[in-house]
Amino acid sequence: MLAASALDERNKALESVKRVLLEHRDEIFDANATDVEENRDRLSSSILHRLYFDQDKLDSVVAGIDDIVRLPDPIGRILEKRELDSNFVLERRSVPIGVIGMIFESRPDALVQIASLCLKSGNGIILKGGREATNSNRALVKAIREATRNTSFGENWILQIESHEDVDFILTLDDYIDLLIPRGSNAFVRHVMENTRIPVLGHADGLCSVYVDAFADLSLAVDVVTDSKVQYPAACNAAETLLVHEAVAGKFLPMVARSLIDNGVELLGDEKTRKIIDVAPATDRDFDTEFLSLKMAIKVVSSLDEAIAHINEHGSGHTDAIVTNNVGVRDRFFAHVDSADVFSNCSTRFADGYRFGLGAEVGISTSKIHARGPVGLAGLTSSKWLLYGNGETVREYSKGGGKSFHHKELI
């Protein structure tokens, strides 16, 4: 059984997956070429780009497997340890969640990444890919199954749903799947979240804001805003909205506009902004839009609390940053902005499992249940309470029973 297997065996299986993927590369590339050929006329260039699985993508997933092998065991960690009474010890240990459901559009590389993370963490996985990647996914799953066939747990830890049922079928499998990980467009992830009773690890939108406070270092603020917007605008942690305190707007807006426009950003502004810099008007809808491109909506606010209220109302609870040198203002922003990641004086683009030092990234969650923000392998674990007794009964610990708990923490 995978869930109870030793780290060494799981790591060997990962090495084996890597080896077999490299051995079968031609078969996998051929299958992918068929998918690309069959869908070339039907799909947008950005989806086609994500559908490609070439040597570069293979190198990248293989490097990813190496990283995952090197990570410490997420399973069997002692999370709590407490002596309830003399020699009566309680432990809480990390265990696999059970079965992860993965649903994805295009991106065959995501299949390998999530499967590898599940293998490392002792979880079974049920996959359902998009129809456009049928041949690629089939070839990849075949290789992964072959690579793990001779382990003690066998190949059935990974199953692919290949029926002609559409994606919605897997959303109904709440008796079999403990956690869903969707990968695809925002609309796709939102559809998953809104149509299943299975818990979902992920986020639909990444509508991130940077607030430049009255106490900001304005030159530093230009760097932070520019990086948050332009370093990789298609990412979920790129900023879409810039909020500026009115006390510094007159000086700051021309500075930041120059930097952003130099980097090709199209600016939209509210009325107060447009009194200071000459940009197109921002509609209400612009402040609710994740542009995912070189476009940014700017609003001048008259207080910290207006900025916080704007973020909590229009943001997606993903990542929001403040630029300020006032510690009290920062702490109020940190306490009141209800997002997974709240930063001061640095780019929103740092919201990422690797940058956070989590080793591997399972996803970024905007849910407040189970895991929040960038999620590492720990997000694929649950826990189990183990109690080591010597014949203890509750009667002895009840009124008149003569025994009592001392609850001594051991870690």
Q: Please say which residue, 145 or 318, places its beta carbon nearer to a second copy.
A: 318
Angle, to 10 degrees, between the axis of helix 25-39 and the axis of helix 55-70? Answer: 130
Contact between 190 and a second copy by CB under 8 A: the answer reads no
Contact between 98 and a second copy by CB under 8 A: the answer reads yes
C-alpha closest to that of 178 among 124, 256, 242:
124
Give every CB contact of residue 106 below 8 A, 6+ residues apart in sequence: 47, 50, 51, 130, 132, 133, 184
Contact between 411 and a second copy by CB under 8 A: the answer reads no
Region from 206-214, 217-225, 264-272, 276-284 binding a second copy, contact rule CB under 8 A: 217-225
The only residue of 26, 45, 72, 394 in contact with a second copy, by rule CB under 8 A: 394
Q: Binding string, 229-248, against a second copy, x = CB under 8 A? A: --xx----------------
Give kind and range of the element (H or E) at residue 336. Answer: helix 327-336
Angle, to 10 degrees, between the axis of helix 7-23 and the axis of helix 55-70? Answer: 170
Buried b / exposed e over 377-400, threshold 16 CB at 10 Å, is bebbbeeeeeeeeeeeeeeeeeee
The only residue of 78, 150, 393, 410 in contact with a second copy, by rule CB under 8 A: 393
Q: Binding string, 120-139, against a second copy, x = CB under 8 A? A: --------------------
State whether residue 2 is helix, strand or coil. Answer: helix
124 close to 2: Cβ distance less than 8 angstroms: yes
The only residue of 38, 54, 146, 178 in contact with a second copy, by rule CB under 8 A: 178
Burial class (CB in 10 A: 0-12, 13-18, 19+), 176: middle
The only residue of 31, 69, 84, 301 in contact with a second copy, by rule CB under 8 A: 84
Contact between 77 and a second copy by CB under 8 A: the answer reads no
Residues 347-366 that bind a second copy (CB under 8 A): 347, 349-351, 355-357
Contact between 100 and a second copy by CB under 8 A: the answer reads no
Give kind and range of the element (H or E) at residue 255. Answer: helix 246-262
Burial class (CB in 10 A: 0-12, 13-18, 19+), 403: middle
Size of the site for a second copy (CB under 8 A): 66
Which residues of this protein are in contact with a second copy, per CB under 8 A?
A: 1, 3-4, 82, 84, 88, 90, 92, 97-98, 178-179, 196-197, 199, 217, 220, 223-224, 226-227, 231-232, 334-336, 338-347, 349-351, 355-357, 368-370, 372-374, 382-395, 397-398, 405, 407
